[in-house]
Structure 1
Amino acid sequence: MKHSTASKLVAGLAAVLVVTSACASDREGDAVVSAGSPSAAGEAAPASDAMFGTLESPCGEGDATGATDQGVSDTEIRIGYGDDRGYVKSPGLNKEMSDAVGAMIDWCNAQGGINGRSIVGTDYDAAMTQANTVMQNACASEFMLVGHGFAMDQTAEQTRVACNLAAVPGFTVSPDAANGPMTYQGVPFPVDFANGSQWFQLAEMHPELIDKFDIVDSTMPTIISANTKVRSVAAAAGFKLKNCGVTLNYEGESSYVPFAEKFKECGVEGLWTSRSPVPGEFNFIKALDQVGIDPIFMGEATWYGDAVRSWNKESGLLDNLHSGMTFQMLENADSVPAVKKYVELVTEKGGKTALLGMQATSSFLLWATAAKECGSDLTRQCMINELSQIHEWDGGGLHAVTDPGSNMPATCGLVVTLSGADYAQAFPAETGTFKCDGRYLVATDRSTWSTDLGPDRVSTKYLNPNIIRPTS
C-alpha cells in the first residue's frame, strides 16, 4: 500500500532532524575535550546552588517588571513548545521534546522563574500536518517558541516570519527554517555548513575503508538532498566512494537481495545510510547478510535509540553499526552531570528520555540564559540581541560546543558502536570526551541548500521589512 506524503516524510526527515551538531570555533588541528570542561566551553561556570551540569542556572527570583512585549507581564512569560506526538501513523513522534521542555519549565519556576517572572508554557501538538495551524495560534499569544520541533516546519515558516515570532527551536528540518530569520538553536543545523566529524573519525578508525565505502541512495527527495550533502562531506574527509549505483525505493522493495548482491559485486566494505532505522532499512540489512557480506554500516545519530537496540538484540546484524554523535550518551549519565540532571528532571515527571529531548533542553537553557540578561527589558528585540552574542554553548555539558549566535555547526564529535543491545563510545577512546578538529567543519555545495541565503546567511524567502534583526 502506498504511503501518504506525510508518512513518507516521517522517516525521511527523521534522518536530518537532529544530530550533526558540534562546536564551531577557531580551533586548528585537533583536540580531545571532555563534556562541560573549561576547554570545551570556555571558562568554568561559577558555583551556584542551582546548576545544570556546568551551567549556572539562569532561573531565579528577581524584580523584573513591565508588560514589555506580547506574552510578557509583570508576573509571567508565555512561551510555546511542542512536537508531532499526535501523528496517527507514528503516535508519540518526538514526544521526548515536549517532555523535556515541560520538565525544564517546572525546574525553572521552582527557582523563581526568570528574574521573578513565572514561565507559562503552551504545549502544541503539530501532529505532522498541522504545523501552520500551531504557528497561527502561537502567533496570537506567545512571546516566543522554545525547544520545539515540527517535522514539517516548512509549512509554518512563512507564518512565523510574518508575525515576528522569534524562536529557539530544538530542531529545524526545512532549509528556510534552518537558516530562518529570528531563529537561534542550541544545536544549529544550517544548510551551508556541516559537521563532518563522523567521516573524519571513521577514516581514523578504519583507514582501509577509504576507497571501499558507498552511500545507499533513495527515491525520497529529502534523502536525495541529504546524500548530496553527505557526498561532499565524505570527499572532504578523503573518502573515494565506489558509486555502485544502488538506489532503493523509499516505499520499499519486494526483495532487497538484488541490491545487496550489487553492493557485493561492487566490493563495498562500508555503507552509509541517510535513512532512519525503519523496517525497510532493517530488511535491507538482512539482505546484506543473506548474500554474505557484513559491511561497516554508518548513519546519523538517529541510529542511536531503542528501536535499533531492540532489533539488534534479536538479530545481531548491526554489531557493525557506527553512528556519529555530538551529544553525550544517555549511558554516561553517571559521569556527565548535565546528562544526569536531564534524566532526573524528565524521569521525575514520567517523561521519555532521548537525544531529541536533550536537544530541546539545550535550546530551553539557551533561551533562558538570554532572557535572564534582558531583565525588565524582556522584548523580542532584546532576546535576538542577546542570542546573537552567544558563540560558545554546550548546554552545561549535554553536547559538544556550538555557536548559536552565528548559526554554525560544530567541529567536534564522537562515534558510538553497537554490540547486541548495548551501545558504547568507540571514538575517541575515552568515554565522555569528544574529538575536535577544524577540518570537521565542511562547507556544503550550494546545490544542496534548496534556498537562497543573504550575506548574513539568513534565508531570503520570507523576509519582509519588519523582521527583527540584531542591533549593537
Structure 2
Amino acid sequence: MSQAHEAAQRGRVAHRGGGARLLLALVGLMLVAAGCGAKGDSVAETGGGSDGGTQVATGGDSGGQADGEADFGTLKAPCGPGEGKIEKSEAGSKGTDKLYIGVNSDKGADIRPGLLREFWDSSNAYIDWCNAQGGIAGLQIEPVDLDGQLFNVAQYLPAACNDVFAMVGGGSTFDNLQLQGPGNLKECGQLDMPGFTVTKEKAEATDTYIAAVPNPANVRPAAFFDYLAQEYPKEVGDLASVYGDLDTIRFVMDQTNAVLTKLGKPFGLGQEIAYAAQGQDFKLTSQSLKGSGATMGTFIGEPSNFGLLLSSMKEDGLKIPMFAESNNYDPLLLEKGSNPAGEVLIRLPHAPFEEADKYPAIQKFEELMAARKAEDPQTKTAALGIQSMSAWLLFTEAATACAEQGDHIISHDCIREQVGKIGEWTGGGLHSTTNPGTNEPAKCIISMKVDGDKFVRAFPEWGSKDATEDGYYCPKKNAVVTIDVD
C-alpha cells in the first residue's frame, strides 16, 4: 500500500462513526465538479436556511431607473416594460399574472445550513433590480423557493413541475435526483436554466436544461493548460495529481488527466496521491508528493484542504508549482495557505472580484448583491452567484425576444429557440465566452495566483499580446477538448 493510501486509510479509520462529518466533506467535494468559488463567503458558510418545501418571496416594486442604471455590463436595459404574455399551458398553477420562477438550492440542509444559498440570494438580487424597471417584457417576476435540503430534492419536484413557468438560476448538490422517480424534471418537461450542473447524470441530460455557463462531462475547457505549457514547459512533464479519495472527485481527476493525455507533450502524468475526505494529515500528503519527485502538482478538492496541504508543503520546503480549479478561488484557501512556498495558480472562467473596477458587469453584480444584503444581512455573495445571475440574464434576453414577436407569447420552445440564436454569451461581461445553445464551456481563462494573503492576476497581463480586450487568454487551438467519459 502506498504512503498516500495509508494516509487516506488512517483518515477513514480515525473518523469511523463520524458519518455526519464525512458527509459534510462529501458535499463539499462534490461541488468541486461544478467549480464553485467564493468572494467574502465560503461554500461552507452557515447562513439562513428555510424549512424546506416551497415558498414565494416578494420581488421588488415596479418603478423606474435612470438609463445607465438599467444596463448590465454590455447588455443594454435587459429589463423593462413590454407586452409579454406567458404561454398559459406552461404558466403553472400560480397563474399568468407574473412570471413565477422556481429557484432551487440546498440552503435548508440540516448538516450544512446555507448550502448553495448564493443561488437564492443572487436570484433575488437580480429580481429586485429587474422588477424595479418593469420586469421582463413588462411581466413582474416572483421567485418560488425550491429547497431540496440536500437529499430531499423529490419534495420540490411537484412544485417545480406544476406551479412555476420555469426554473432559473438555481442548483442542487445532488442534481441527478431531479431526474429520478415519478414526476421528475425530464418527465414533466420543465424548462431549467440552472446556475450550475454537478453530477455526471445531470450534465449529460442536455435535453433537460440550458446552462449559461455549461459544464459538459465530455467537453472540457483546456485554455489554462495551454498557458501552463507555455509558462512551465519542463515542470508539466511530471505532474502529480492530489485528490480526495471519493469516486466523485476521482472522476474530476480522470477528466483532467484525460484532457492532459489528449493534449500530449509537454504534459506527462505522474503519481496519483489520494487523501482522506475527512481528517487527513496533510503532512503525510506533502511527504508523498515530495517523494514522488513530481515537478508540478494539481490539487482536486476543497480550498480548506488545499490550504492545509500548502502549509505542509511550506514546512517541508517543497516549492513546486501547484494549480487548482476555480472552486479554490476562496478565502478559505488563504486561511492556511497564504504565503506558499511555490507558486499557486487557479483557473478562473470569470472576471475576478479583485478587478471589479475593470469589469462593469462585476461592478453591477456587486452593486445588486450589496442592495440585497441591505435587505437581508445574511445574503451570501459568491462566485456561483455570478453563474446564477448569468442564467437570469440569459433567460431575460431570450424571454424578451419572444415577447417582441407578433403574438408576444413567452413559451419554453421559444426560449430554447432564442437561446440558440443568441450564440456566444458572456452574461454582459460576467464571465468568458460560452455558448449555451450548443452547451459549449468557456474557451478563455484568467489565471490567478496566491500572492501573500491575497489573490492577484498571474496571466494574461492586461494589455499584453496574450490578453483580449477584456483581459482573458483565448488560445487559437485546443481551447476546449473532447474526451471519452465512462
Report the TM range for the smaller structure's normalisation: 0.7 to 0.9
> What stretches of structure 1 move > 6 A for 4+ residues in a row?
none
Unaligned runs of 5+ in 1: 21-46, 448-472
Residue 441 of structure 1: aligned partner? 480
Residue 291 of structure 1: aligned partner? 316
Deviation at 1:408, TM superposition (A): 0.9
Measured in 2, the distance between the counterparts of 1:61 and 1:97 equals 26
- CA 1:237/1:148 → structure 2, altered by over 3 Å: closer, same or farther? farther
Measured in 1, the distance between the counterparts of 2:71 and 2:417 equals 25
Measured in 1, the distance between the counterparts of 2:204 and 2:434 equals 15
1:184/1:407 contact within 8 Å kept: yes
TM-score, with structure 1 as normaliser: 0.83
AA in 2 matched with 1:333: A
Cα shift readout 1:308-343 (whole Å, capped 9, x = no counterpart): 233345xx3376220001100011111210000000
- CA 1:283/1:333 → structure 2, altered by over 3 Å: closer, same or farther? closer
1:92 lines up with 2:108 in the alignment: no
Report matched runs for 1:123-272 at 5 Å: 123-158=145-180, 159-180=184-205, 181-235=207-261, 236=263, 238-253=265-280, 255-272=281-298
Residue 12 of structure 1: aligned partner? 29
SS in 1 for 2:448: strand
Identity across matched positions, percent: 26
Report matched runs for 1:9-408 at 5 Å: 9-18=26-35, 50-65=70-85, 68-71=88-91, 73-158=95-180, 159-180=184-205, 181-235=207-261, 236=263, 238-253=265-280, 255-279=281-305, 281-313=306-338, 316-317=339-340, 320-350=343-373, 351-375=379-403, 376-408=408-440
SS in 1 for 2:260: helix
Deviates more, 1:3-12 or 1:86-95: 3-12
1:69/1:378 contact within 8 Å kept: no
Q: Which structure has more helix as a fraction of its residues?
A: 2
Deviates more, 1:334-343 or 1:379-388: 379-388
Measured in 2, the distance between the counterparts of 1:417 and 1:69 equals 50
AA in 2 matched with 1:57: A
1:69/1:380 contact within 8 Å kept: no
AA in 1 matched with 2:118: E
Measured in 2, the distance between the counterparts of 1:65 and 1:262 equals 62
- CA 1:89/1:237 → structure 2, altered by over 3 Å: closer, same or farther? farther
- CA 1:420/1:85 → structure 2, altered by over 3 Å: closer, same or farther? farther
Measured in 1, the distance between the counterparts of 2:268 and 2:390 equals 35
AA in 2 matched with 1:430: W
Residue 37 of structure 1: aligned partner? none
Residue 425 of structure 1: aligned partner? 457
CA RMSD of aligned residues (A): 2.2
- CA 1:423/1:237 → structure 2, altered by over 3 Å: closer, same or farther? farther
Residue 62 of structure 2: aligned partner? none
Measured in 1, the distance between the counterparts of 2:478 and 2:272 equals 28
AA in 1 matched with 2:89: D
Deviates more, 1:136-145 or 1:176-185: 176-185
- CA 1:48/1:347 → structure 2, altered by over 3 Å: closer, same or farther? closer
Measured in 1, the distance between the counterparts of 2:334 and 2:321 equals 17
1:319/1:418 contact within 8 Å kept: no
1:295/1:320 contact within 8 Å kept: yes
